[in-house]
Structure 1
């Protein structure tokens, strides 16, 4: 896995857009203006949103990921070298979590989310 692979996966999600909000080469992936994944300039992985602090803590304790620096405790840093299928599923879960939390009007303006 690499930055390019993560970007390719995120780009496949309907309505997902990349930006560099802080400058310097960050890849922040958003849907409806809300971030669901972020690759830092030097971090060896991608930060994703989980559904709770407890889920993030569990993933960290299991060794799946690490604490995502500069993010809320419900975010976890996943390494680029994790299983590609698991990485894709975790990125998709983060995307869906953020998308479903958007106001209904914003959700309605996004492209349909085909069963993934």
Structure 2
């Protein structure tokens, strides 16, 4: 999978916005001002949020990804060479986790996500 493919997946999500808050060519995808996916300037993969430190560790132990540098331990970094369906799934799960943490008012203002 490529950076462009990851960006295409993220851009299709309701309310998703692209920014570069760190400068230097990062693609940080946010919903409601909260990040759910980030591709670093080195273009090695995408970092996504999981529901817990334990889930992140389980995915790391299973070889799905590695600890996401500079992020909380509940985030993992998936190489762009990962299985495309796994990458897509992890991006969607991260989006759903972050979106569910938004205020009810903000959640209600966003269109529903299609499956």
Pick the TM interval, shorter chain.
over 0.9
In 1, Cα distance between equivalents of 2:90 and 2:113:
16
Query: Who is 1:96 aligned against?
Result: 96
User: Number of matched residues?
Assistant: 115
1:60 and 2:60 aligned: yes
Write the distance in 1 (CA, Å) between the matches of 2:47 and 2:40.
8
Unaligned regions of 5+ residues in structure 1, if any? none
Structure 1 length-normalised TM: 0.96
Moved more, 33-42 or 105-114: 105-114
Q: TM-score, normalised by structure 2?
A: 0.96
Matches within 5 A, 1:76-87: 76-87=76-87
* Aligned-pair CA distance for 1:112: 2.4
> Residue in 2 aligned with 1:71?
71
In 2, the alpha carbon distance for the partners of 1:34 and 1:88 equals 19
Q: Tell me the equivalent position of 1:8.
A: 8
Counterpart for residue 32 of structure 1: 32
* Deviation >4 Å, runs of 4+: none
Gaps of 5+ in 2: none
* Of 18-27 and 104-113, the range deviating more from structure 2: 104-113
